[in-house]
Amino acid sequence: MGLIRKPSQLQVKPTLAVLIYGQPGIGKTTLACSAPEPVLFDCDGGVTRINGAHMVDTLQVERWEDIDAALKEIEGGQDYKTIIIDTCGKLLAFMEDYIKRTDPKLADRSGSLTLKGYGARKQMFINFINRVRLTGRSIVFVAHEQEQKRGDETVIRPEIGGSSVNDLIKELDLVGYMEAYGEGNEMYRAIAFNPSSKFYAKNTCSLPSPIQLPATVNPQGEATGKNDFLTKTIAAYFQKRKEDQERVSDYEDLMQCIEGKVECIENAETANEVVAEIMKMQHIFNSKEMASQLIAKQAKKVGIVYNKIKGAYEPAKD
């Protein structure tokens, strides 16, 4: 097999990169911990606010070196399938602190990063995402929301420093915005993956949106259900990717069959027979339109034309 592959031969990434964001206290970290076999990198000191029934193995981050050391342990074979970063903004703050300590020239007199320093942080951030994904594990980022003016409109976006939000979203498969609806006992939470004029989101696998989130804790603070929303969502994502690839393979097989039939067209009679056969086929994607183009090209080659009134091919008139 050469380096260039057909669509059905493309490798599907075995990992998923997700961002969950919303207002403080809405349950973002608990939702993130519903991912398959997670380890939480608690950059924000919020792990103790999670219901005890939903806590997971946790790294309490105090500096960037803690994250680097933990990643080395995980790369060495620790049995986790998902790394959770809570919050993404604090992760960037740890990176910034590390850059200032190890290369003071990248900070100005006020203590802020220079332009070159921000470039170094951006590259450090991208390298971190790639490093996690190369371990074969999924990554879930948690972020708070912030409002941003876009003309006269207000848009809600993840609270991630500077242009890093754009760098992050490019690398992500899913971006979900969490909101609360209703009040009191009628209140429920939902997450939306489809982008809107109101907020940022990203949905690469046609998940329904918004999705009402199951209640995992009652008003008394007692755990009431299994915390597995993201585990199910990620499983659905990979199942959809598998089905899409199988459908692409079926499309390629169908087009190969159509091309073989079209090549058999030698005159008006065989053209009409081939058209009748192709019309009866179960078409996929744009196979019907592609077949029409192939037939028209072959018809021109053998000197026949389509009579729209008769609805059939006939010899071209001299």
Phi and psi angles of residue 227, each rounded to the nearest 5 degrees, phi first: -90, 85
> pLDDT tens track of the chain, all 318 residues?
567 777 766 666 768 889 999 998 888 999 999 999 999 999 998 888 888 888 999 999 999 999 999 999 998 877 899 999 998 999 999 999 999 999 999 999 998 999 999 889 989 988 998 899 888 899 999 999 988 877 778 889 898 876 666 767 777 888 999 998 877 667 788 999 998 888 989 988 778 888 999 888 777 667 787 899 999 988 888 888 888 888 888 999 999 999 999 999 999 999 999 999 999 999 999 999 999 999 999 999 999 999 999 999 999 876
d(CA 61, CA 42): 6
* Beta-strand pair 82-86/38-42: parallel
Residue 26: partners with Cβ closer than 8 Å, 6 or more residues away: 178, 179, 180, 189
pTM above 0.85, yes or no: no
Question: How many other C-beta atoms lie within 10 A of the C-beta of residue 17?
Answer: 19
Residues near 203 by beta carbon (within 8 Å), at least 6 away in sequence: 174, 175, 193, 194, 195, 209
Q: Is there a contact between 138 and 81 (Cβ–Cβ < 8 Å)?
A: yes
CA 294 to chain centre: 35
Q: Can you read off the two tokens belonging to residue 314?
A: 């006939």
Distance CA 215, CA 84 (A): 21
Pairing label, strands 17-22, 138-150: parallel
